[in-house]
Every structure is written in structure tokens, then in C-alpha cells.
Amino acid sequence: MPCEVCGCPEVRWLRVTTVAEQFKCNTKLVRRLMREGKLDGLRFGFGWRVDHQSLDEYVRKVSVRFAEPVEDPPWCL
């Protein structure tokens, strides 16, 4: 069953390729987000894994879907 927030499989650690495929982006972007501290990850063997909880927090922060509604939008003045 996929996660409600990001749509990834419900596992603790996700492969970089899994995250990249889910969001239709390059694996370099996922690694860059980890390097910049926007996603938590760890080196596991020869590859990297992304912390699923960290990914969900990032998606909630940057996604319009989870944005707080604005009571009085500026165009309604």
C-alpha cells in the first residue's frame, strides 16, 4: 500500500531510484537534496537510502496540496 503523502512504498528507507521514479526526476536531484540537508539519508552498502519520514516532511513543506489555506487572498481585497 503506497504512502498517502508521497505515494512511495511503506518502508522506512527508500532507494534513491525509487524516490526519483516516484517524482519523475533525476537521481542527482534526490542526492543533491540529501547533500543540502533537505532530505535525511544514509549510505547503505554501495548506495544511498532516503528516510521516508524525512521525504514526507519535505513533500508537505513544498507541496501546494498540503499548503495552509489563506483566509483572505490578496486578489479578493
Q: Name the residue range of residue 3's domain.
A: 1-65
The reported pLDDT for the residue numbered 2 is 78
The reported pLDDT for the residue numbered 43 is 92
Nearest-angstrom CA–CA distance, 19 and 36: 16
The reported pLDDT for the residue numbered 72 is 66
Indicate whether 26 belongs to any domain: yes
Indicate whether 18 belongs to any domain: yes
The reported pLDDT for the residue numbered 77 is 52
Indicate whether 74 belongs to any domain: no
The C-alpha cell that represents 63 in the structure block: 507541496
**Total domains in the fold of the chain:** 1
What pTM was computed for the model?
Answer: 0.77
Which residues of the chain fall short of a pLDDT of 50? none
- The DSSP call for residue 43 is E
Q: Which amino acid is at 56?
A: D
| Residue whose C-alpha is closest to residue 23's, from 48, 70, 58, 47 | 58
Indicate whether 6 belongs to any domain: yes
Residue with cell 512504498: 9
